[in-house]
Every structure is written in C-alpha cells, then in structure tokens.
Structure 1
Amino acid sequence: MEFKWTPLFSAALCFTILMSHRVSGWTGEIHGRVVCDVCGDSSIGPEDHVLRGSAEVAVLCITKSGEVLNYQAFTNANGIYNVAETMPESERWDACLARPISSFHHHCTHLGDGSTGVKFGYTLPSGHSHTVKPFVYRPAVAPTYCI
C-alpha cells in the first residue's frame, strides 16, 4: 500500500504538532468612545453625540519582550473603537498609549482639552478588556443654542 499525502492528513499533522507544544495564548482588548461635545462645555449633555464611523484612534503598545506594536482603529456605528490581539503569554502587552488621530465629522473636528492621549499599564488577564476614557472633539464654533 502506497502512502498518499492528503490535505486532511496535513491538517491533522499540524493540529497534532500544535497541541503537543501547548502554547499558552493571551488575548487583550482596548476600546473607548469618541464624542462630539457640541457646545464645547466639557460636559456630556443631550446635545452631544458619538462620532459614528468618523473618528480615527491610534493605539501603541509595548510588549513584555520590548516589541512596539502600532494599531489604528476607526469608530463604529456606536462611536466605539476597538483593538484586540491574541499572542503568546510571554509576548503580551505591558503598557499602551491610546490617542485620537482625527475626526472626519463635518462639524466636530477640533480636539477637546484633555483629549491628547491616555497612557496605561496593561495588567489584565487574558480575555479581559481595558476601557479608555472618551476622547472629545468639538466644533470650531458652538451653535447659538449653546450660548
């Protein structure tokens, strides 16, 4: 009987090799919101809204081994950006910096005070997420109803 190398045999062999090494994986997640402070009053009120799909955020993380990882995320329909990564436990994030890059909203394009970036240590166990405080943009000129 002649041996025939098949895709199924290849997949089974790869699975066996991976399972025999039992690599410990780690998953981390970082997320936050980006908000338009319509009146520019530094408080979130009924006139304010999230920037749906129109804001960009950068997340820079350093791993336990010293590697620097740079992520770019855009807000979704709920104004939330999200960065997630799965890697070996020995390579997990150690510290991160999240910072707003830009707003593509037609009115809300000026970065609010205190929204330059957030630096934090990442000590959470695998499968948990870190929530970053909201980043705030505001219009160049507040609407008349705000005054």
Structure 2
Amino acid sequence: METGMQKEMVMGLFLLLITLSGVRAWTGEIHGRVVCDVCGDSSIGPEDHALEGAEVAVLCITKSGEVLNYQAFTNSKGVYTVAETMPESDRWAECMTRPISSFHEHCTQLSDANAGVKFSYKNPSGYSQAIKPFLYQPANVPMYCI
C-alpha cells in the first residue's frame, strides 16, 4: 500500500514527465464521504458513523469527449478520493458521482435523496471538488431514534 509521500513522489514524477514533454499538465481531485444515517433522518448527527469500504463510482467526461470511469472505496473515516493528472486539453469537464454499495452489514439501504451528484468540474489544476455525503440507512431504525 502506498504511503502519502510515495503517492506525492509518483505524482511529481508524472507531472515532471508531462512538463518535459511540452504538454501543460492539469491535476484534479474529487472526494466525499459515505455515512450510515442511523436514524434515517437525512442529516448527519452524533449517532451516525462513517462507512468504511463503501463503493462509489465517479464518471467524468473530458474536454476532448473521452469518458473516464473511476471506482473508489472509502477509508476508515468514510472518505473516498479520485485524482487524475492529464494534459490540460483533456481535463475533466463534467462529472457524476454515485454510491454503488455499502458492505456494512447493518447499514445497506441507500437513502432516496442520494442517487447521485452531477456537476461541471471547473476547478483549476491542483484543486479538489468536495461532494455532499452519501447516506445509507439501516433496515431497522433503532428504538432511540423514534
């Protein structure tokens, strides 16, 4: 598993190679969270918790019309991240994120309000786009929520 420092070194080498080839590089990032909405109230409160291992799909269309499909899984804090470095002329133009599945045995029902998020990616190189959290709910709401 790569450490943060290894990731940064690989990204730096890639950027250097693109720069040396005369192509202007662009780097983008999309990140968000996946949370178990324990009470099913569509808001994040103290009773809710991050879902580790939840799967999220990110689909982006580049300025040149290429369709890029990414798959991401959440870490222990429920955070997923997709990042890409490419020539400026091929950068992301439109993207859509959507939750695919939760592997948490008690929180697998996707909230109706969270089918997916479509957006234009207008951030300059080196910036990230934060997506609102995707919420899953338990099949049975605990008594303390009622």
The two structures have a TM-score, normalised by structure 2, of: 0.86
Query: 5+ residue gaps in structure 1?
Result: 1-14
Quote the Cα distance in structure 2 between the aligned partners of 1:28 and 1:42: 29
Q: Which whole-Å CA distance do the structure 2 matches of 1:43 and 1:92 have between them? A: 33
Once residues 79 and 23 of structure 1 are traced to their aligned partners in structure 2, the CA distance between those partners, rounded to angstroms, is 35
Q: Does 1:83 align with 2:82?
A: yes
**Which has more strand, going by share of residues?**
1
Structure 2 stretches of 5 or more lacking a match?
A: 1-15
1:15-53 CA-to-partner distances (Å, cap 9, x unmatched) read 99x72x42100000000000100011112111101102x
The Cα of 1:78 is off from its aligned counterpart by 0.9
CA–CA distance in structure 2, aligned partners of residues 83 and 117 of structure 1 = 16
Q: Secondary structure at the match of 1:78?
A: coil
Residue 100 of structure 1 and its aligned partner are, at CA, apart by: 0.2
> Which residue in 1 is equivalent to 2:40?
40
Q: For 1:127 and 1:46, how far apart are their aligned partners in 2?
A: 33
2: CA distance, partners of 1:87 / 1:42: 37
* Aligned residue in 1 for 2:95: 96
Q: Distance in 2 between matches of 1:37 and 1:142?
A: 10
Aligned equivalents of 1:68, 1:43: Cα separation in 2: 33
**Structure 1: which 4+ aligned runs deviate by more than 3 Å?**
none
> Which structure's CA Rg is the greater one?
1
Q: How does 1:88-127 map to 2 (within 5 A)?
A: 88-127=87-126
Percent identity of paired positions between Structure 1 and Structure 2: 71
Give 3-state SS (helix, strand or coil) of 1:104's partner: coil
C-alpha distance in structure 2 between counterparts of 1:65 and 1:22, whole Å: 18
**Alignment-derived partner of residue 50 in structure 1:** 50
| Superposition RMSD in Å | 1.7
1:113, distance to aligned residue in structure 2 (A): 2.1
Number of residue-to-residue matches in the alignment: 131
Tell me the distance in 1 between the aligned counterparts of 2:129 and 2:46: 26
Aligned amino acid, residue 93 of structure 2: D
